[in-house]
Structure 1
Amino acid sequence: MNNEILWVIRLGLAEKLFSREQALATLKAVGRDAQMMEFAQQLIDGDIVHEQEMSRLETLLAQAHERAQVGPPPGNPLLDEDTPAPAPAPKLSVASHVVKPAASAPAAPPANVKPSGPKPEFAFDKIGTMDDAALAAGLRKLLIATGEHGASDLHLSAGSAPFIRKHRAITPLSPHPLKQEDALRLNTALLASHQKEIFLDRKDYDFALALDADHRYRVNLMFHKWGASGSYRMVPAGIPKLDDLGLRNLDTIRKLLTYHNGLILITGPVGAGKTTTLAALVAELNEKREDHIITVEDPIEVVQMPKGCNVTQREVGPHTKSFFTALKGALREDPDVIVIGELRDLETIEMAISASETGHLVIGTMHTSDAATTLNRLLDVFPPAQQTQIRASVAESLRGIICQRLLPALDGGLVSACEIMISNTAIQALIREGKSQSLRNVMETGVKEGMCIMENVVLELYQQKRISKETALINTSTRNVRAKVV
């Protein structure tokens, strides 16, 4: 039995989260070779830990993970009645996350995932002959194999052949479309009973899935005209480093993180790496500052263990009703940094701008392609009567915008292209006057301040022979730049 489970039992008994008999029954159900998260999941599935106790279990798992790095607990928590309970661990923010059917706090070292593993395999034609346990085990293996193959997504949709996406290219895993009943069973195989009820009721369901500390996924389930469909996005094991993302002008980006108030926006289309960049920025703050960071995500993907900072991660759904509700509450929770997974509606954007003006550093993401579009989207959600006031607020609070894309590289992988806008006096004047069309000129003259324009970055990647001519043309629109590509 590993030290993590022993610590979970010791701490759980001390906290009266479960009894010794319940711990023994849980261990018998999962086996003595099980991992901590399998044990935790059985506590949930066996109705030993209920929904209202999930936050206590999350904190307990984080503490057990940290203590297990040092060694096992004193005595045998399954046998000795007289061993004193351990001293309370320092109060941590709930940085680990338990989501049915699994959850985890990441191990300290990142996993060594080999992106050149074999193509994932699964007996899709035999789903009808599998029982629920075999189907769940098979899906777990398929998800792990997909990540080890280097794919970013797995799609399991009724009426379509299962496929994976690797470097933007789609590869079928079977020549046969999934039957309606097979797709539903497969996509609900890893759901707890209450999650399945939510999915069948709402017809849409987003959640984070953690098979263990090294294998995490962002999952979207939905129904379409042929039946159930699931999209599984691989979440990198471990916390990404800012230096490893391929972004330009890192000194400029790091300077943005030195501010103690203001608004920083990370933007880009779906699949552009916004979540990874956001996680890297939080990790950088966590290591270099001593602050309270509150994140609001949908769902939690990259788990941030407290280092220099106290990190509180909240998920829309299990922990809060909406981004707006969490952001409103965050202002009363003594934060220094507020991270918003997505700025998507008027109330959330208005609250984010307000928070950035009142002494908080706010970092958020938007689905926009460049700095000018980002500003237009940010401002246009407000009614005309508020435009003058909100433009003045944004001009004052905005620190910078990082727009990014992932482009197919000539070597078969992906290459990052990013546009960086840093707020200065000229930018602030344009925002107040509503002249976003003139941003490009100001950004071109702001190279010394660390600014860069997406089209120029794409052209540079083409000239370095890192992307193809076709990719360069698709990602440029200005006549002068396209002429240099042709």
Structure 2
Amino acid sequence: MAEEALRQAADAIIREARERKASDIHISEGMPIWYRVNGRLLPAQTQMSAEEIRGMLYAIMPKRHAEKFEKGFDADFSFQTSDGHRQRVNVFRQQKKMAGTIRLLNASIPTLEELKMPTVLYEMAKAPRGLILVTGPTGSGKSTTLAAMIEYMNQNSDRHIITIEDPIEYVYETKKSLIHQREVGEDVGDFASALRSALREDPDVILVGEMRDYETIQAALLAAETGHLVLSTLHTTGAAQTVERVIDACPTGGQNQVRVQLAGTLKGIVSQCLIPCGGGVTRVAGTELLVATDAILNLIREGKTHQISNMMQSGTALGMHTLNMDLVRLMQQGYITREDAAIYTNNKAELEATLR
């Protein structure tokens, strides 16, 4: 098939996936095409030969990424279909064959209210400086939550916002805020160097797609320390674990300094997971929310992160809650079952105690 025909084939598969309300498409040479719909994997109606799949993945891959892929690296890039929808694509090899995962992005940015996020996130988004972390496993909606926060700022404040992403997912239209979006590999070499450069670009807010390594973490903390509001993500499943991950990512000799930096900059952590509900027809977000009170920051500074969960349970008046507290709320409101809660809890014993 010609390259244009292959791109049209990709358009058709993505269109079918969107009609079925899928979040992801899984494509592999010599295997059926699968869609992830509300957390479940379902076969696609359209199927392609191994040769067609290989050609299609190369057809949608930018030349620079194709060259990188040929050298043995995975390829991360964004792809826009003819109807204007954007997708995030990861192409990789498995058993010496080509495979890809396509994440379907929303055409419009949902509001925090539409996402049913805690209202305290609106207050965090108003903070003039500090560090806000959105965490959770892959596919838990972290990027969408961050996009909703950035769009809230865009509509309600006059700020200079710089986003550093790999790749760019949601594209913003300038409203009250000026927004510059930089893509790793296209506009800048890596997250850490982009962060250092951003400090010379008069930003008010910096969105870092992911804090992947010590260098990026250190640059993000420095940006937060020097009067900027920094938002980023981590692949962790809880507020206390997030604090520990940030500290553990740093060399042993520098961990005390990072504790002090984190205690001086952290504004809040929202950890989330998406739970199938309504018989698998839709999903709802279960969240854990830490608000950086003086007491919480003291625990971080003193290395007592194991006490954070207890502090959060007693901080409901300030908007805090643990994941188990939110799972119980979702059960009481009829969104999920007790069985669902048992699957998604990060502490089964605590969940049972909360239910009792």
TM-score using structure 1 length: 0.70
Aligned counterpart, 2:259: 391
CA contact (8 A) 1:264 1:401 kept: yes
Instruction: Please state whether the residue corresponding to 1:293 is helix, strand or coil.
Output: strand
- Shift in Å, 1:465: 2.4
| Structure 1 residues 480 and 228: CA distance shift in structure 2, 3 A | closer
Task: Give the aligned residue type for 1:272.
Answer: S
Instruction: Please state whether the residue corresponding to 1:242 is helix, strand or coil.
Output: coil
Task: Give the aligned residue type for 1:132.
Answer: E
Aligned counterpart, 1:169: 40
Same amino acid, percent of matched pairs: 38
Aligned counterpart, 2:289: 420
Aligned counterpart, 1:190: 60
Cα displacement string for residues 390-439 of structure 1 (whole angstroms, at most 9, x for unaligned residues): 21111111000011110011342101111110011110110011111100
Aligned counterpart, 2:336: 467
Instruction: Please state whether the residue corresponding to 1:189 is helix, strand or coil.
Output: helix
Aligned counterpart, 1:274: 142
CA contact (8 A) 1:180 1:226 kept: no
- Shift in Å, 1:181: 2.9
Aligned counterpart, 2:320: 451
Alpha-carbon distance between aligned partners in 2 of 1:343 and 1:193, rounded to the nearest angstrom:
27
| Structure 1 residues 385 and 275: CA distance shift in structure 2, 3 A | same
- Shift in Å, 1:144: 1.9
Instruction: Please state whether the residue corresponding to 2:187 is helix, strand or coil.
Output: coil
Question: 2:266 aligned with 1:434, yes or no?
Answer: no
Task: Give the aligned residue type for 2:255.
Answer: Q
Q: How does 1:29-48 map to 2 (within 5 A)?
A: none
Aligned counterpart, 2:127: 259
Which of 133, 139, 164 aligns to 1:296? It is 164
Which of 94, 115, 118 aligns to 1:224? It is 94
CA contact (8 A) 1:472 1:485 kept: no
Instruction: Please state whether the residue corresponding to 2:173 is helix, strand or coil.
Output: coil
Instruction: Please state whether the residue corresponding to 1:206 is helix, strand or coil.
Output: strand
Alpha-carbon distance between aligned partners in 2 of 1:369 and 1:406, rounded to the nearest angstrom:
12
CA contact (8 A) 2:211 2:234 kept: yes
Task: Give the aligned residue type for 1:210.
Answer: Q
Q: How does 1:329-408 map to 2 (within 5 A)?
A: 329-408=197-276
- Shift in Å, 1:140: 1.0
| Structure 1 residues 329 and 484: CA distance shift in structure 2, 3 A | closer
User: Counting strand residues as a fraction of each chain, which structure ranks higher?
Assistant: 2
- Shift in Å, 1:329: 0.4
Instruction: Please state whether the residue corresponding to 1:420 is helix, strand or coil.
Output: strand
Cα displacement string for residues 93-137 of structure 1 (whole angstroms, at most 9, x for unaligned residues): xxxxxxxxxxxxxxxxxxxxxxxxxxxxxxxxxxxxx43332221
Which of 215, 218, 233 aligns to 2:85? It is 215
- Shift in Å, 1:471: 1.4
Instruction: Please state whether the residue corresponding to 1:244 is helix, strand or coil.
Output: coil
Q: How does 1:14-93 map to 2 (within 5 A)?
A: none
| Structure 1 residues 424 and 198: CA distance shift in structure 2, 3 A | same
- Shift in Å, 1:195: 4.1
Cα displacement string for residues 429-460 of structure 1 (whole angstroms, at most 9, x for unaligned residues): 10011111100111111111111110111122
Instruction: Please state whether the residue corresponding to 1:243 is helix, strand or coil.
Output: coil
Alpha-carbon distance between aligned partners in 2 of 1:480 and 1:342, rounded to the nearest angstrom:
30
CA contact (8 A) 1:161 1:174 kept: no
Instruction: Please state whether the residue corresponding to 2:181 is helix, strand or coil.
Output: strand
Cα displacement string for residues 72-93 of structure 1 (whole angstroms, at most 9, x for unaligned residues): xxxxxxxxxxxxxxxxxxxxxx
Task: Give the aligned residue type for 1:432.
Answer: R
Alpha-carbon distance between aligned partners in 1 of 2:83 and 2:6, rounded to the nearest angstrom:
21
Alpha-carbon distance between aligned partners in 2 of 1:428 and 1:482, rounded to the nearest angstrom:
28
| Structure 1 residues 213 and 281: CA distance shift in structure 2, 3 A | farther
CA contact (8 A) 2:9 2:56 kept: no
Aligned counterpart, 1:237: 107
Cα displacement string for residues 449-486 of structure 1 (whole angstroms, at most 9, x for unaligned residues): 11111011112212322112321111232425225659
Q: Which runs of 5+ in 1 are unaligned?
A: 1-129
| Structure 1 residues 213 and 433: CA distance shift in structure 2, 3 A | farther
Aligned counterpart, 2:75: 205
Alpha-carbon distance between aligned partners in 1 of 2:236 and 2:326, rounded to the nearest angstrom:
17
CA contact (8 A) 2:342 2:348 kept: no
Cα displacement string for residues 189-220 of structure 1 (whole angstroms, at most 9, x for unaligned residues): 22354443333234411101112464110001
Cα displacement string for residues 15-46 of structure 1 (whole angstroms, at most 9, x for unaligned residues): xxxxxxxxxxxxxxxxxxxxxxxxxxxxxxxx
Alpha-carbon distance between aligned partners in 2 of 1:217 and 1:381, rounded to the nearest angstrom:
30
TM-score using structure 2 length: 0.94
Task: Give the aligned residue type for 1:444.
Answer: Q
Q: Which has the higher contact order (CA 8 A, sep 6+)?
A: 2
| Structure 1 residues 276 and 334: CA distance shift in structure 2, 3 A | same
Cα displacement string for residues 281-333 of structure 1 (whole angstroms, at most 9, x for unaligned residues): 11011111111111000000100111111101000000111000100100111
Task: Give the aligned residue type for 2:9.
Answer: G
CA contact (8 A) 1:357 1:397 kept: yes
Instruction: Please state whether the residue corresponding to 1:219 is helix, strand or coil.
Output: strand
Q: Rg: which structure is higher?
A: 1
Aligned counterpart, 2:13: 142
CA contact (8 A) 1:158 1:226 kept: no
CA contact (8 A) 1:180 1:227 kept: no
Alpha-carbon distance between aligned partners in 1 of 2:210 and 2:314, rounded to the nearest angstrom:
30
CA contact (8 A) 1:410 1:465 kept: no
